């Protein structure tokens, strides 16, 4: 049995339901991309909603989605930490230096190699899932969740400049992977 | 502008996050740089492909149920019991006065609860892809559809000429009872007009409130309670209500 949320206030629960439950699919989507595992994503989203409910009194708006995402991200980070201590750790760590690598190493040198193919959703999901954290996180928040740079900065707790460089790197890496996929399919 | 700068800033251009001055600079760099031009073209293609493919996930129903189960459940008018308990515990108020007081408290509570249920019903109608049971812009189709489904069929009035398009009707549940909802649209904004029977025939003037970010205009007339709910601005929703009421008066 899941733990009951401690705060037994039906009116608060009603307001919380109306404000937070409409974002359940989005939260689950983010957790799937962050954790790359359906069962862990379910656990993380459930934990996120219970925490969010407990802290709902401190929620001042305006946007519910980034607020939920910030909580969800913290839950997911705790899950990374747990995985890191287990021998079967599957999460690769990105060295700090990766964020400083110049972008143009990623981009193809020939402009003629133009991206053309529209992949099915499974292929795109696989390509996005292959991105290293934290580029995957930034990319998903922007491209799939449609958050603004400022909202992403709040969720990920980094400056907007970092959001911009991560997004640039993420898109450059995805573009390379995308073009490589096209090359394979030829 | 160098390629290194453009490599980062062109994303902000794609995402509409760049101010006009920088946008012009990036655009003029791209115009003269085939490599950056190819990059931005590809990124836009990628964004389009991702949006078209639909790469989100749907939360499993079991997850939704587990979260629901972990939240405190809504109780039926919790204050009702608290008030009664208060009187049961040796209040000096006479039984008659107590009854009257309870009635007042209940009406107030019920009103607020129903109001919030109406907003929930509005939200549900937007989320579930279940906005209308009968789709028609013709009041003579929508009106008879309600007959036999409800104790009282809601009046269906065509306000298209006034800028509110009738798009259909729906059966909904509010206060544990089936209730008729007539659905209108103004631009992209949905208006749900919930109509239920009331024992009082007195006319109650309209009141507009904001609940959970939605505006709700409530009024009563000729034995019917009306709630118009929408994310429309207050003045536009007020306009809707006034036009509806005056059309009702005109219809006799």
Residues B160-193: tens digit of each pLDDT: 888 999 989 988 888 777 889 999 999 889 999 9
Phi, psi of A73, deg, nearest 5: -60, -40
- Residue A180's pLDDT is what? 87
Strand, coil or helix: A130 = coil
Q: How far is it, in rounded angstroms, from Cα B139 to Cα B156? A: 6
In this prediction the ipTM stands at 0.82
Nearest C-alpha of chain B: how many angstroms from A136?
Answer: 14
- Residue A118's pLDDT is what? 76
- Using a CB–CB cutoff of 8 Å, tell me whether B54 touches chain A: yes
Give start and end residues of each alpha helix (H) in chain B.
3-14, 20-31, 34-53, 61-70, 78-88, 95-127, 139-146, 234-250
Pick from A7, A25, A115: CB nearest B72: A7
Which residues sit opposite B166 in a β-bridge? B184
- Using a CB–CB cutoff of 8 Å, tell me whether B44 touches chain A: no
- Residue B129's pLDDT is what? 66
Nearest C-alpha of chain A: how many angstroms from B128?
Answer: 10
Nearest C-alpha of chain B: how many angstroms from A97?
Answer: 17
In Å, how far are A39, A43, B29, B59, B68 from B62, measured between CA atoms? Answer: 12, 11, 51, 8, 10
Q: Do A148 and B75 make contact, defined as CB atoms within 8 angstroms? A: no
Q: How far is it, in rounded angstroms, from Cα B142 to Cα B167? A: 9
Q: Are B193 and B219 in contact (CB under 8 A)?
A: no
Residues in chain A: 186
Q: Which of A47, A118, A161 best tests the B interface by mutation, with the highest count of B CBs <10 A?
A: A118
pLDDT in tens, B81-98: 444 444 444 334 444 444
Strand, coil or helix: A5 = coil
Q: Do A144 and B64 make contact, defined as CB atoms within 8 angstroms? A: no
| pTM value > 0.80 | no
Block means of pLDDT (10 residues each) for chain A, 186 residues, are: 55 88 95 94 95 88 88 90 63 48 46 69 92 93 92 91 92 91 79
How many CA atoms lie less than 13 Å away from A4 in the CB half-sphere?
6
Q: How far is CA A108 from the centre of its chain?
A: 26
Q: Which residues of chain B are under the pLDDT cut of 50?
A: 76-78, 80-108
Chain B residues within an 8 Å CB radius of A142 = 15
Pick from A42, A107, A165: CB nearest B60: A42
Q: How far is it, in rounded angstroms, from Cα A100 to Cα A103? A: 9
């Amino acid at each position: 049995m899941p733990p009951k949320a401690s705060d037994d206030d039906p009116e608060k629960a009603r307001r919380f339901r109306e404000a937070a439950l409409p974002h359940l699919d989005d939260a689950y989507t983010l957790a799937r991309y962050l954790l790359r595992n359906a069962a862990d994503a379910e656990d993380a989203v459930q934990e996120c909603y219970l925490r969010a409910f407990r802290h709902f009194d401190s929620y001042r708006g305006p946007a519910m989605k980034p607020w939920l995402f910030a909580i969800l991200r913290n839950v997911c980070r705790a899950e990374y930490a747990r995985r890191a201590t287990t021998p079967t750790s599957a999460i690769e760590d990105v060295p700090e230096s990766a964020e400083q690598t110049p972008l143009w190493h990623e981009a193809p040198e020939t402009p003629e190699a133009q991206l053309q193919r529209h992949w099915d959703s499974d292929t795109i999901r696989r390509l996005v899932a292959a991105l290293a954290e934290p580029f995957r996180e930034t990319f998903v928040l922007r491209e799939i969740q449609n958050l603004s740079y400022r909202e992403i900065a709040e969720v990920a707790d980094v400056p907007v400049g970092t959001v911009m460089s991560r997004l640039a790197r993420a898109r450059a890496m995805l573009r390379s992977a995308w073009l490589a996929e096209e090359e394979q399919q030829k | 502008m160098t390629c290194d700068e453009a490599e980062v800033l062109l994303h902000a251009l794609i995402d509409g996050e760049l101010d006009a001055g920088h946008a012009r600079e990036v655009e003029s760099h791209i115009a003269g740089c085939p490599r950056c031009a190819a990059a931005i073209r590809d990124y836009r293609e990628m964004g389009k492909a991702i949006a078209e493919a639909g790469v989100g996930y749907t939360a499993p129903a079991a997850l939704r149920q587990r979260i629901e189960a972990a939240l405190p459940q809504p109780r039926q008018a919790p204050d009702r019991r608290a008030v009664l308990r208060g009187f049961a515990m040796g209040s000096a108020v006479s039984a008659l006065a107590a009854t009257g007081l309870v009635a007042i408290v209940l009406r107030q509570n019920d009103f607020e609860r129903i109001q919030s249920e109406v907003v929930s019903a509005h939200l549900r109608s937007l989320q579930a892809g279940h906005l209308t049971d009968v789709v028609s812009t013709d009041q003579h189709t929508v009106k008879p559809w309600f007959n036999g489904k409800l104790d009282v069929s809601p009046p269906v009035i065509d306000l298209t000429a006034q800028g509110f398009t009738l798009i259909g009707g729906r059966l909904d549940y509010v206060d544990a009872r089936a209730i008729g909802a007539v659905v209108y649209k103004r631009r992209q904004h949905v208006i749900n007009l919930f109509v239920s029977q009331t024992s009082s025939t007195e006319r109650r003037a309209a009141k507009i409130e904001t609940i959970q970010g939605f505006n709700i205009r409530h009024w009563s007339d000729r034995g019917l309670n009306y709630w118009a709910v929408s994310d429309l601005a207050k003045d536009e929703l007020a306009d809707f209500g006034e036009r509806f009421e005056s059309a009702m008066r005109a219809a006799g």
